[in-house]
């Protein structure tokens, strides 16, 4: 595939009324190359579908939850074959898709084959009305400036008792409140990816001590004795580390009973990943989905650094975590790192975006925020998908350690 046809993928969670993540929408993006817009969409969707379902597997990208995929007309009408069976994904009909006899016939066939259909951006009279009997989900745009139009769409959808309504593009607390009042079943939007209570990263003494452990792990020549001493002085962190090491998924044939044994058994690279993961979880009080977003960025930084020259992957991982913490809580990154004995190159990369590490952090931040970098960075899509897969595995292992989200 040529550079001007390279595609990108994003992932956005979908929540139920209790605030639990029940699925993800995989979002396909194509950069603006020298092909027409309609062909760009087709290439983007086809490329990411093939990668997602043949190289990585949808379950690994969604953590076993429902995957919603925005399909192009070519897939919906059968001109391009779907690379997965009917149990793996929900097929979304985009809002701008012309609904004619060909499309209606194609969606009917897909429904008969057992595929689940969702209508994206549903509006009354927009052509999608004829698809309502075939759909399981209807997604309504909460950024619609006319509340009357929105209420009419809800009323129209409620005539089909089998439909589940998804409020999409939720960008404010007022929109979220309205969606609850209108009885929506599921919820999607950027406001749900941030803490719902105004929060700051307060550096209380216990948290500052844990950040110092992170700092001790960020240098090239880690002093294991120093790390053992610092971890041993924190009873909570010590117990979590021992439980993690003795977990069945870790693969050890014996149990460990001391902090030093746990650290040695893990090895330095995995030690950095697990301890920084636990520290950031404690530091931010993030729920599982928010922590997952931070981990994706951290792992993406590590993978990109591994392909760069002179950028240690483990340091890039820590930088990605700290960068994501700052963004999640809307805090300046210089406040997050203030007073920490971090490596000078890491501090400069975080605060100024300077050097090769700064470039890695910037690319990862832009990409996980929905922006495709220009010029194109080779291997970026594959690295992002690999980061999603890795994050799914890690968060499953730590599920019992992480706080659950309360009602939205």
Is pLDDT of 342 > 80?
no
Which of 6-10, 57-61, 231-235 bottoms out in mean pLDDT, i.e. has the lowest? 6-10
- How sure is the predictor about 195, in pLDDT bands with cuts at 50, 70 and 90? very low
Tell me the sheet residues that pair with 117.
91
* Tokens 């995957």, residue located: 67
Q: What is the pLDDT of residue 199?
A: 33
Q: What is the pLDDT of residue 313?
A: 83
At residue 11's C-alpha, the angle toward residues 377 and 292, to 5°, is: 100
**How sure is the predictor about 100, in pLDDT bands with cuts at 50, 70 and 90?**
very high
For 392, the token pair is 């799914």
Sorted by where each starts, the structural domains of the chain and their CATH numbers stand as: 3-193 (3.20.20.450), 205-401 (1.10.3210.10)
Alpha helices per DSSP H over 217-354: 224-232, 235-246, 259-266, 268-284, 288-306, 313-328, 333-337, 344-352
Task: Decide if pLDDT at 30 tops 70.
Answer: no
Provide the pLDDT for residue 35. 35
- pLDDT given at position 162: 93
Confidence of residue 43 (pLDDT cuts 50, 70, 90): low
- CA–CA gap between residue 319 and residue 346 (Å, rounded): 7
User: What mean pLDDT do residues 43-65 have?
Assistant: 65
Token pair listed for 87: 């149990």
pLDDT band at residue 203 using 50, 70 and 90 as cut-offs: very low
Report the distance separating Cα 214 and Cα 325, nearest Å: 14
Quickly state the pLDDT bin for 29 (edges 50, 70, 90). low
Asked if residues 9 and 26 have their Cβ atoms less than 8 Å apart, the reply is: yes
Query: Residue 391 has what pLDDT?
Result: 84
pLDDT band at 52 (very low <50, low <70, confident <90, very high): low
**Which pLDDT does position 2 carry in this prediction?**
37
- pLDDT at 243 exceeding the cut of 80: no
- Of 142, 66, 69, 79, nearest to 106 (Cα)? 79
* CA–CA distance, 91 with 45 (Å, rounded to integer): 12
pLDDT at 196 over 60: no
The stretch 303-327 carries a mean pLDDT of 82
Query: In this predicted structure, what is the pLDDT of residue 34?
Result: 30
Question: Per-residue pLDDT tens for 169-182?
Answer: 998 889 999 999 99
Helical pair 205-216 and 224-232, crossing angle rounded to 10 deg:
160
How high does pLDDT run on average in the chain?
A: 77
The sign of the torsion formed by the CA atoms of 358, 362, 365, 368 equals negative
Question: What pLDDT shows up at residue 62?
Answer: 79
Residues of the chain above pLDDT 90, percent: 25
pLDDT value at position 291?
79
């Amino acid at each position: 595939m040529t550079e001007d046809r390279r595609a990108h993928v994003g992932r956005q969670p979908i929540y139920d009324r209790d605030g639990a993540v029940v699925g993800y929408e995989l979002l396909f993006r194509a950069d603006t190359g020298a092909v027409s817009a309609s062909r760009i969409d087709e290439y983007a969707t086809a490329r990411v579908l093939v990668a997602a379902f043949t190289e990585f597997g949808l379950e690994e990208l969604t953590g076993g939850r429902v995957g919603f995929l925005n399909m192009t007309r070519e897939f919906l009408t059968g001109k391009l074959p779907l690379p997965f069976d009917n149990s793996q994904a929900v097929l979304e009909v985009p809002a701008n898709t012309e609904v004619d006899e060909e499309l209606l016939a194609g969606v009917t066939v897909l429904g008969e084959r057992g595929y689940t259909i969702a209508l994206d951006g549903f509006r009354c009279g927009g052509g999608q009305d004829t698809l309502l009997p075939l759909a399981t989900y209807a997604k309504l745009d909460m950024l619609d400036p006319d509340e009357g139009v929105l209420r009419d769409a809800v009323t129209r959808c409620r005539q089909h008792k089998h439909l589940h309504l998804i409020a999409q593009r939720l960008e404010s607390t007022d929109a979220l409140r309205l969606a609850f009042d209108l009885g929506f079943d599921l919820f999607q939007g950027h406001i749900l990816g941030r803490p719902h209570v105004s929060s700051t990263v307060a550096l209380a003494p216990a948290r500052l001590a844990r950040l110092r452990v992170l700092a001790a792990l960020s240098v090239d020549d880690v002093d294991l004795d120093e790390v053992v001493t610092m971890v041993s002085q924190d009873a909570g962190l010590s117990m979590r580390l021992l439980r993690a090491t003795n977990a069945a998924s870790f693969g050890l044939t014996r149990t460990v009973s001391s902090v030093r044994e746990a650290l040695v058994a893990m090895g330095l690279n995995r030690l950095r990943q697990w301890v920084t993961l636990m520290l950031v979880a404690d530091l931010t009080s993030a729920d599982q989905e928010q922590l997952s977003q931070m981990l994706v960025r951290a792992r993406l930084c590590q993978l990109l650094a591994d392909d760069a020259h002179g950028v240690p992957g483990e340091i890039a991982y820590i930088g990605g975590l700290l960068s994501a913490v700052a963004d999640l809580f809307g805090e300046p990154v210089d406040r997050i790192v203030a007073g920490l004995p971090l490596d000078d190159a890491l501090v400069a990369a975080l605060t100024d975006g300077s050097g090769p590490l700064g470039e890695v952090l910037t690319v990862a931040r832009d990409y996980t925020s929905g922006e495709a970098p220009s010029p194109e960075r080779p291997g970026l899509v594959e690295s992002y998908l690999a980061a999603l897969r890795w994050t799914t595995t890690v968060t499953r292992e730590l599920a019992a350690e992480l706080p659950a989200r309360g009602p939205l």
